[in-house]
Amino acid sequence: MPANVIEVQDLAVEYGRGKRRFRAVDGVTFRVAEGECVGFIGANGAGKSSTMKAIMGFLFPAAGHVRVFGEDAGTARSRQRIGYLPEVALYYPFMKARELLELYGGLSGLTRVSLRKRIPEILDRVGLAGRAESLLRDFSKGMQQRLGIAQALIADPEALILDELSSGLDPIGRHDLRDVLMELRRRGRTIFFSSHELTEVESLCDRVIIIHGGKIVTQATVAELMRPLSEIEISFVTGNGSSLPASLTALRPHVADGHGTLIVDSPTRCAEAILALSGAGCQVRRTSTRVRSLEDHFIELVGATRRAP
Per CB under 8 A, does 80 bind another protein? yes
Nearer to another protein, 88 or 275 (CB): 88
Query: What number of other Cβ atoms are within 10 A of residue 220's Cβ?
Result: 13
Calculate the dihedral angle through the C-alpha atoms of 23, 36, 225, 215, rounding to the nearest 10 degrees. -10
Per CB under 8 A, does 288 bind another protein? no
* Cβ pair 190, 199 in contact under 8 A: no
Residue type, 97: A
Min separation Cβ 155 and another protein, Å: 6
Min separation Cβ 106 and another protein, Å: 5
Considering only residues 143 through 172, tell me which ones interact with another protein, judged by CB under 8 A.
Answer: 148, 151-152, 155-156
Min separation Cβ 76 and another protein, Å: 4
Min separation Cβ 107 and another protein, Å: 4
Report how many residues bind another protein under the rule CB under 8 A.
39
Q: Where are the alpha helices (DSSP H) in the chain?
A: 48-56, 97-107, 112-125, 141-153, 171-186, 198-204, 222-226, 246-249, 267-279, 294-307
Per CB under 8 A, does 216 bind another protein? no
Binding window for another protein (CB under 8 A); candidates: 29-37, 82-90, 285-293, 300-308: 82-90
Nearer to another protein, 23 or 53 (CB): 53
* Cβ pair 211, 241 in contact under 8 A: no
Nearer to another protein, 122 or 302 (CB): 122
Per CB under 8 A, does 84 bind another protein? yes
* DSSP character string of 53-83: HHHHTSS--SEEEEEETTEETTSTGGGTTEE
Considering only residues 85 through 104, tell me which ones interact with another protein, judged by CB under 8 A.
Answer: 85-86, 88-92, 94-95, 99, 102-104
Beta strand 37-41 pairing with 22-33: unpaired
Considering only residues 172 through 191, tell me which ones interact with another protein, judged by CB under 8 A.
Answer: none
Alpha carbon 125 to chain centroid distance? 22
Min separation Cβ 264 and another protein, Å: 49
Residue type, 183: E
Query: What number of other Cβ atoms are within 10 A of residue 158's Cβ?
Result: 17
Per CB under 8 A, does 23 bind another protein? no
Considering only residues 48 through 77, tell me which ones interact with another protein, judged by CB under 8 A.
Answer: 53, 56-60, 76-77
* DSSP character string of 187-234: TT-EEEEE-S-HHHHHHH-SEEEEEETTEEEEEEEHHHHHGGGEEEEE
Min separation Cβ 146 and another protein, Å: 14
* Cβ pair 240, 232 in contact under 8 A: no
What does the binding site for another protein look like in residue numbers (CB under 8 A)?
A: 53, 56-60, 76-77, 79-80, 82-86, 88-92, 94-95, 99, 102-104, 106-111, 114, 118, 148, 151-152, 155-156
